[in-house]
């Protein structure tokens, strides 16, 4: 039995760019990063008591920055489908939002998922009650040494006919107030690579625990990958006096920075409409796998 709900895999999206080809050649795309869909309740509901959710694509600021558009790859019964996602309008105004703190590497953009449903796309979103915000992390006792999953597309490996999410394992390495305050991230021990950026980090549910502690048996969303921390060495020329640096060697340290979901919430709270949806705006959407288990109403 898998400890990772399948709905989480369906929530992860390959963020891609179109590759230039010769005339007459088929379109080609390259996966450049990862992203995932999340659902935040608007605080509104219809006459039946069904909650309204707003759906967002989450990735990194550095993924969206300086891009006018990206393509999103989803699975479909016949293979996969890609959708163009503009990041700027015709006047070059930015369509996505980010945190006011420049050190927070988060990019957020609303997604109209009704089109995905109409096209028969396989997708899901991770609902907010599955987020482990920092206060929830402390309440549950999630800490260094706890295991987790990293989902995404390292080195652009995203599949050809369909989207195949790569699941990597690891442990939480450092999670304390000091590092979150100074870097706006915490650390995990997992070998992530370019392409993992923007992917979700999921707590691995525990079946057992040591005496005096309680196991956390839900696969909570902890945050999103920012990137790996490099280890650098510099080669110096001994022919000069004093020796001069000539070559820098950069390696993956195996440690990666993760942005807590609290910073995503900071961005989203000003993006959710507060007005009551009209009847024409009410769209019923069957619950995707991995969400709380109720009929959810999406306002787009």
The mean pLDDT of 66-78, rounded to a whole number, is 92
Cβ 290 vs Cβ 257: under 8 Å: no
Cβ 88 vs Cβ 97: under 8 Å: no
74 preceded by a cis bond (ω within 30 of 0): no
The whole-chain average pLDDT of the chain stands at 86
Q: Is the pLDDT of residue 284 over 70?
A: no
- Supply the DSSP symbol for 160: S
The mean pLDDT of 123-128, rounded to a whole number, is 93
- Cα–Cα distance measured from residue 294 to residue 230, given in angstroms and rounded to the nearest whole number: 43
Model's pTM, two decimal places?
A: 0.86
The mean pLDDT of 14-30, rounded to a whole number, is 87
- Give the confidence band of 211 by pLDDT, cuts at 50, 70, 90: low
The mean pLDDT of 270-288, rounded to a whole number, is 51
Angle at 234 between CA 231 and CA 235, to 5 degrees: 140
Cβ 16 vs Cβ 81: under 8 Å: no
Q: Mind listing the pLDDT tens digit for each residue in 151-165?
A: 999 999 999 899 999
- Cα–Cα distance measured from residue 25 to residue 31, given in angstroms and rounded to the nearest whole number: 19
Which residue blocks in the chain are alpha helix, DSSP H?
6-11, 61-64, 114-118, 134-140, 177-183, 261-268
The mean pLDDT of 117-134, rounded to a whole number, is 93
Least confident of 2-16, 44-58, 162-176: 44-58
Please provide the CATH number assigned to the domain covering 6-298.
2.40.10.120
Q: DSSP labels for 17-80?
A: EEEP--TTSPPEEEEEEEEEEEEEEEEEE-TT-PEEEEEEEEE-HHHHTT-SEEEEEEEETTEE
Q: Mind listing the pLDDT tens digit for each residue in 223-277?
A: 999 999 998 888 888 788 888 888 888 888 999 999 999 999 999 998 886 555 5
At residue 207, the pLDDT reads 67
Contacts of 5 (CB under 8 A, 6+ apart): 219, 289, 290
CA distances from 130 to 57, 120, 126, 162, 293 (A): 16, 25, 7, 27, 12
Contacts of 84 (CB under 8 A, 6+ apart): 69, 71
């Amino acid at each position: 039995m898998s400890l990772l709900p399948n709905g989480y895999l369906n929530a992860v999206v390959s963020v891609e760019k179109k590759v230039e080809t010769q005339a007459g050649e088929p379109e080609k795309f390259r996966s450049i990063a990862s992203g995932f869909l999340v659902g935040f309740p608007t605080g509104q509901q219809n006459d039946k008591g069904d909650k309204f959710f707003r759906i967002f694509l989450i990735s990194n600021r550095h993924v969206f920055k300086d891009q006018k558009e990206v393509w999103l790859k989803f699975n479909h019964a016949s293979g996969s489908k890609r959708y163009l996602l503009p990041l700027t309008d015709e006047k070059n105004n930015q369509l996505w939002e980010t945190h006011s703190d420049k050190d927070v590497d988060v990019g957020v953009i609303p997604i109209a998922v009704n089109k995905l449903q109409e096209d028969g796309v396989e997708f899901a979103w991770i609902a907010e009650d599955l987020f482990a915000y920092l206060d929830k992390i402390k309440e549950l006792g999630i800490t260094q040494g706890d295991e987790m999953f990293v989902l995404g597309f390292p080195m652009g490996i995203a599949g050809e006919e369909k989207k195949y999410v790569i699941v990597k394992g690891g442990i939480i390495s450092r999670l304390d107030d000091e590092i979150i305050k100074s870097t706006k991230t915490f650390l995990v021990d997992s070998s992530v690579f370019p392409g993992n950026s923007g992917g979700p980090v999921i707590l691995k549910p525990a079946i057992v625990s040591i005496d005096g502690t309680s196991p956390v048996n839900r696969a909570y969303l902890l945050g999103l990958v920012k990137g790996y921390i490099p280890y650098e060495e510099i080669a110096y020329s001994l022919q000069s006096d004093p020796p001069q640096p000539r070559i820098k060697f950069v390696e993956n340290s195996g440690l990666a920075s993760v942005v807590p979901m609290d910073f995503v919430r900071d961005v989203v709270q000003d993006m959710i409409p507060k007005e009551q949806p009209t009847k024409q705006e009410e769209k019923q959407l069957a619950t995707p796998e991995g969400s709380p288990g109720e009929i959810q109403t999406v306002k787009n």
